[in-house]
Amino acid sequence: MLDFAPSFFLYLLVMAGVTYLVRMLPMVLFRRKIENRYIRSFLYYMPYSVLSVMTVPAIFYSTGHITSAAVGFLTALILALKRKSLITVAAFAAIAVLLAEIAIVYIPVAII
């Protein structure tokens, strides 16, 4: 049987409490509609900003070479701007990264 340390349950309880507070406090503190357009704009764009800040570095450090990561990123960006489906964008970006990695590893670059 698994032997959990008592501190594990303390950590779990603290994590649950913090998660609950983060979700509950905005509803308790801001009962009225926020009328300041700058704050509303800030709150509207915040999820997109946080998601971008977490995702973009992961894209460029997820492969063996930054060149292949850039190829995959550009492929995904172009297909997304052309309004292709998510599965199409993901599949073609993965294929582009694979081909770029193969090209980097197996095709020697002549140094002049």
| Residue whose C-alpha is closest to residue 69's, from 60, 78, 77, 56 | 60
Q: Which two tokens stand for residue 6?
A: 């008592």
* Alpha carbons 58 and 79: distance in angstroms, whole number: 19
What pTM did the predictor assign? 0.64
pLDDT tens digits for range 2-56:
666 778 889 999 999 999 998 898 888 878 888 899 988 998 999 899 999 999 9
Start-end of H helices in the chain = 6-29, 37-60, 66-81, 86-106
Residue 91: how many CB atoms within 10 A of its CB?
A: 13
Question: What does the pLDDT average to over 108-112?
Answer: 63
